Amino acid sequence: MFPIDAEVRIETPHGGEFAICTAEASRRIDAYSVAAGDVRIEVRGGGPATRQINNFLSADSNDADKLIAVEVLTPGRGMVVVPAAQTRRVHR
């Protein structure tokens, strides 16, 4: 996560996919990263409504001013209903 007024440059020799989430912050928080092994994972629902929640920036586990972000993984034809303004879908 990047603090207010930070300049950020992302470089990789192999490409990749990046999602940049933003929110207007009211206080400055020093930059930090969350290691993959420290991400809290939850499994919710059952059957076709099963989903895995990767809490990489959730309000109850990280210091954040206004932005929270989680990754929701669903099985092949699973369905999760979330307001469109809160989602970014990737189809593979």
At residue 75 the predicted structure's pLDDT band, cuts being 50, 70 and 90, is confident
pLDDT average, residue stretch 73-83:
65
At 10-61, the pLDDT tens digits run 889 998 888 777 788 888 888 888 888 988 999 998 887 888 988 888 777 7
The confidence score (pLDDT) of residue 55 equals 87
pTM of the model: 0.61
CA distance 67 to 1: 10
Q: Indicate the residue type of 23.
A: A
In what order do the strands lie in the sheet containing 69-73?
Answer: 40-44, 51-57, 69-73
What does 39-56 look like in DSSP terms, one character per residue? -EEEEES-GGG-EEEEEE
The confidence score (pLDDT) of residue 50 equals 86
